[in-house]
Each structure stands twice: as C-alpha cells, then as structure tokens.
A = this chain, B = another copy of it.
Amino acid sequence: MTTPQPPYYAVIFTSQRSTVDEAYEQTAQRMLELAALQDGFLHVDSVREQGLGITVSYWRDLESIHNWKQQAEHMSAQQSGKEKWYTAYQVRICKVEREYGFEAQD
C-alpha cells in the first residue's frame, strides 16, 4: 500500500507532449523528486506512451496541493511546460473517497 485510508487527495495530470529534449527529461525527473519532498506528499505514479502522459500524485490535503503548485522551481517548470513541452494538458483535483486493490500471492 502506497497511500493511507481515504479520504485523501489526488491530482491527475494528463499531458500531450510536443517536443522532446534533454531538459524535459531532467525537469520531469526533478519534479517527481521535488514533489516527494513536499509536506503532505503521499505517492506518485507516472506513465507516458506515444506522447500521452498520465501522472497521478497523491496528497494529504488541498493545502499540500496548493503549496506544491506554488513552489518556485515547480512554477518555473510549469512555465516551460506551456512554452516548450506540451501542446495541451489538463489538471484535475480530486478527493479519493474509496479504494481497493489486489495483489497476487506467490
């Protein structure tokens, strides 16, 4: 288990990437690391395939999400994202109300 009992919050970030450069890869990796240092961070999953990416980060509360959005280095990355890396993206702030899972037995 990577997240606590609900309720907690999720940010679903869906993006369509345009150009790929080394700076993008470095920044994307750095943002995952930086997010993990924020107060209230719980977990992140990130996958990209043929330009379409889904990153879901999980947070304790809305305040943590707000603080992460305003974090200085993250704000700079958001700006670069709009100017260079993404043709479109969507951010959805969600309250996780219920969860269940499955894990195979060895």
Contact = CB atoms under 8 A, between A and B. Distances in A.
Residue among A52, A90, A99, A100 facing the most chain B CB atoms (10 A cut-off): A90
Which secondary structure dominates chain A's binding surface? Answer: strand
Contacts of A48: 47, 49
A95 interface: yes
The oligomer's copy count stands at 2
Q: Chain A: interface residue count, which band?
A: 35 or more
Contacts of A89: 101-102
Interface string A9-43: 01010100010000000000000000000000000
Interface of A: 2-3, 6, 10, 12, 14, 18, 45, 47-49, 52-54, 56, 81-82, 86-104
